[in-house]
Amino acid sequence: MKKLVVIGAGMATGRALEHLFETEPGAWDVTLFNAEPRGNYNRIMLSPVLSGEKTYEEIVTHDADWYEAHGVTCRFGEKVASVDRDRKVVIAENGDEVAYDKLLFGTGSNPFIIPLPGHDLDGVIAYRDLEDTYRMMETAGTPGAKAVVIGGGLLGLEAAAGLRMRGMEVCVVHLMGHLMDRQLDEAAGYLLRKALTDRGIEIRCSTNSKQILGENGKVRALELDDGTEIPCDLLVMAVGIRPNVKLAQECGLAVGRAIHVDDQMVTSDPDVLAVGECVEHNGAIFGLVAPLYDQAKVVAKTLTGEHDSFVQREVSTKLKVTGCDLFSAGDFADGEGREDIVFRDPARGVYKRIVIEDNKVVGAVMYGDTSDGNWFFGLIKDGTDIADMRENLIFGPAFQGGTPLDPLAAVAALPRDAEICGCNGVCKGQIEDAIAAGATDLGGIRATTKASASCGTCTGLVEQVLAVTLGDDFVMPASQSICACTDMTHEDVRRMIKSQKLTSMAAVFQECGWKTSCGCHVCRPALNFYLLADWPLEYQDDPQSRFINERKHANIQKDGTFSVVPRMWGGITTPQELRAIADAAEKYSVPTVKVTGGQRIDLLGVKGEDLPSIWYDLNQAGMVSGYAYSKGLRTVKTCVGTDHCRFGTQDSTGLGIKLEKTLHGSWTPHKLKLAVSGCPRNCAEATCKDIGVVCVDSGYQISIGGAAGMDVRETTLLAQVATEEEAIDLIKAVTQCYREHAKYLDRIYKWMDKVGLDWIQDQVVNDLESRQAHVYRFELSQSIYRKDPWAEHAKKPEKYQPLADLTLEAAE
């Protein structure tokens, strides 16, 4: 009998032995070493064992009877100390030597442990084998126990779901921006996150761990790099695996990232084969089961002297969490020449995306409906030309019955308690009830529920509820959607963002049924503004969704250079500031220096590469970005007021400075210009600004909705207040109201025409509580956004000899 020694009783070697015994029963004398004290079990089913949905006995692939029946000498719980390839013996830990004719490495992989401080504390484990699983089950047995899982990949999420089923409070900490980032795109990652959050699992993405904290040698909490501590009794690291190649390396086999094998699974030694997660084939390493089984087949053929070759093939991914249906295969990264087809059904939580290149499907991601997954997988594997079926491709093989894209799906999916009219607090259910009671048009709904009867921005949504409820009996008035990615209007989407608490771009795309995977240049800037205005703490500003001027923090000019405008609070400057501006203008050879209409100085013609340096210099002189490029506060123009002017009634300059300092950095739907005039002579031209203040003897007249651009408009009086403090509060409140309700790229006057001055007055003038609430929300947002963007990007100009006196250098 030929002697075969196998190192590692995993799924790959187990399958290889099955094939071998089928082909040549009784021909091989097999000795099987395994470091784990047991034989082959279906390791990928450990997650259901953890959750309680399977037992260990159920996932055993080869039991003692099987090994006995095939005459396998089992050396379980024994590690191999070394391999002497010259003498062709394997040396066990206890010194036993086992001779081989053929040796098969199946040493698998080791979990990667991030070397965070505290990683060796008791209670910090990986998730790899039955011992880890039992350890988790045991910890979960303590009522109130908490777990942290580092890693939001396949294994980490399965561990989290299992631990949650066991009754633990679970938090998943993931470094990347969305879950399962290697298998899913952002949209599918969003749906998965939602499903897991729904089962009580806390998910933190884009989160970095700093250290693991312990107490008496046992894990106590995970500390994140922002200082947050997440308490835990168990910390599971599921951040990836590394091929286990130590033994192979020590015995001199060729090893790269893993053990090198050829197409026949033979290593650099013709009598030594390798299979599974420990091998490297044509530069690739393997973690999923399908290619491992293909390798196992080839191993058996090679051992029996038949010819077969291992061919790498596409793999697909599924997640073993009951109720989470996802499918992912191929490559779905954006790229030149690639297009995608997207289908979303917000009501069913379905997202499907097919990526096409050269008329072939190269990638597929699905969430919620995976029935066609294998069909798409087949198209990818076979490289099928899909030119002829492109039209209906997304609906799968049974496309005739495919659900057509329903423009009303997002509204149909809203629960009854979703708030449609924010002004009057009217929910979808109340509107449905009103329709059931006989209201069949917008007027009827307004009369009975007051929905859309105030600011009117929810009109579109109310009409859609009517359409969904009444069906063909309601004729939808035509409305302008944001862009071709959606059928919803700006107002609809804003209402959805508020009422459904949508706090990410991916959430908006899915819940509003976007027809593209990640929006376009039209909708993204609008959504970016809506999200940061409504969810300043939850949402992170996305620079990629901004126009170039906002991304560059400078206005691009027609020759590709930029203009730089430092802020001059209230139009007041100092000799030092002027000197610094002059120095900068000379140092960076600024061709044009201009005084703007907003009472500040514009440096025109700055080269893109000089921007960080010029910002640095201006920052050093105490100046910050004037946001002259932004859809946000531009300037507060002032006159000299009581300090110098004999007509002045109040300190208009002082108020202007305070307003500019309060409002700067705040993003608004469009640019926002203010002015404060010290008397009705109105030298600061306050009555053609977005918000103008005219000081009078009895206080401050605050008016809004002026413009002096393509449209010229005079402001309308919003209110007169007695004190400066009240004036500032009112301006903050009306700014916030504008931020919360206006359509992106509407100046205040356009917004005011839509919602009416009365409504604005109801929000911020007449109702003091409401005014204060607006002020509070404005300040909350400003706690994030009241900052100088230059400072984050400013760089000391190294090319100008960093150690020298910069002002002297510039003066030369």
**Could you list the residues that contact another protein (CB under 8 A)?**
42, 44-45, 51-55, 57-58, 137, 140-141, 143, 161, 164-167, 198-201, 289-290, 293, 318, 322-325, 348, 350, 368-372, 396-398, 401, 416
Nearer to another protein, 322 or 698 (CB): 322
> What span, in angstroms and rounded, lies between the C-alpha atoms of 671 and 713?
15
Under a CB-based contact definition with an 8 Å cutoff, are residues 804 and 796 in contact? Answer: no
At closest approach, how far in Å is the CB of 418 from another protein?
Answer: 13
> What span, in angstroms and rounded, lies between the C-alpha atoms of 674 and 665?
14
Nearer to another protein, 161 or 245 (CB): 161
Under a CB-based contact definition with an 8 Å cutoff, are residues 180 and 152 in contact? Answer: yes
Number of residues in the chain: 812
At closest approach, how far in Å is the CB of 250 from another protein?
Answer: 33
Nearer to another protein, 240 or 429 (CB): 429
Q: In the block, which residue shows the tokens 């015994």? A: 21
Contacts of 578 (CB under 8 A, 6+ apart): 601
* Pairing relationship of beta strands 73-76 and 28-34 according to DSSP bridges: parallel
> What span, in angstroms and rounded, lies between the C-alpha atoms of 271 and 85?
9
Region of 474 please: left (phi>0), alpha (psi -120 to 50) or beta.
beta
Nearer to another protein, 290 or 578 (CB): 290
Residue of 326, 283, 291, 292 lying closest to 153 (CA atoms): 326
Nearer to another protein, 345 or 534 (CB): 345
At closest approach, how far in Å is the CB of 147 from another protein?
Answer: 13
At closest approach, how far in Å is the CB of 167 from another protein?
Answer: 3
Nearer to another protein, 165 or 760 (CB): 165
At closest approach, how far in Å is the CB of 668 from another protein?
Answer: 38
The Cβ of residue 530 has, within 10 Å, a number of other Cβ atoms equal to: 25
Residue of 206, 195, 197 lying closest to 319 (CA atoms): 195
> What span, in angstroms and rounded, lies between the C-alpha atoms of 458 and 22?
69
At closest approach, how far in Å is the CB of 258 from another protein?
Answer: 22
DSSP state of 85: T
Nearer to another protein, 30 or 201 (CB): 201
> What span, in angstroms and rounded, lies between the C-alpha atoms of 215 and 218?
5
Token pair listed for 107? 């040493």
At closest approach, how far in Å is the CB of 450 from another protein?
Answer: 24
At closest approach, how far in Å is the CB of 206 from another protein?
Answer: 23
Nearer to another protein, 348 or 501 (CB): 348
Which contacts (CB < 8 Å, 24+ apart) does range 604-608 have? Answer: 604/557, 604/561, 604/563, 605/557, 605/559, 605/561, 605/563, 606/554, 606/561, 606/562, 606/563, 606/564, 607/561, 607/562, 608/552, 608/560, 608/561, 608/562
Written as one string, the DSSP assignment of 86-101 is TTTEEEETTS-EEE-S
Nearer to another protein, 166 or 713 (CB): 166
At closest approach, how far in Å is the CB of 1 from another protein?
Answer: 30
At closest approach, how far in Å is the CB of 20 from another protein?
Answer: 18
Nearer to another protein, 460 or 513 (CB): 513
Phi, psi of 605 (to 5 degrees): 95, 30
Nearer to another protein, 161 or 506 (CB): 161
At closest approach, how far in Å is the CB of 55 from another protein?
Answer: 5
